[in-house]
Amino acid sequence: MFMKRIHAPAGYVLLAGDLAAFLLFTYYGKLAHGLPATASGIMETLAPFLLAWILVALFFHPYRRHSLEKAGKQLLNVLLMWTIAAPIGLVIRTLWLGTPLTWLFAAVAYFIMLAFLLGWRIPFAIVYALIRRPSRTL
């Protein structure tokens, strides 16, 4: 069902990049906290945030053509989606792991993951806009 909501091939590239951003965010978090970056440890930390992202994506359709047409719309979508998904992911994480939620962790997780998402999506949006721009002949 989720995969039917993707416009190929750009939507798949965007999805792959987002997944990579989430993996890198989780891997970096493990290393920054001196925790082992094992596959199971990464998945345990990644799952709540990725689940929240996918749930929000079902409503925002970030991988469809209409969401890709304008670079500004792409980046606004990311900001809105992460602003909604981050608290959901934090609540899921708190319930799943049984660890208390701290405002410092919430703020750091929000801003660092947003940086990971925008850090790859800004170049994607620019390149996609350039590719989609109609060519002008002299």
Measuring CA to CA, which residue among 60, 58, 51 is closest to residue 78? 60
Strand intervals (E) in the chain: none
- Domain membership of residue 113 (yes or no) is yes
* Full residue range of the structural domain in which residue 22 is found: 3-132
> What confidence score (pLDDT) does residue 52 get?
97
* Ranges of the chain whose pLDDT falls below 50: 1
Task: Name the domain count of the chain.
Answer: 1
- Domain membership of residue 137 (yes or no) is no
- Domain membership of residue 51 (yes or no) is yes
> What confidence score (pLDDT) does residue 136 get?
59
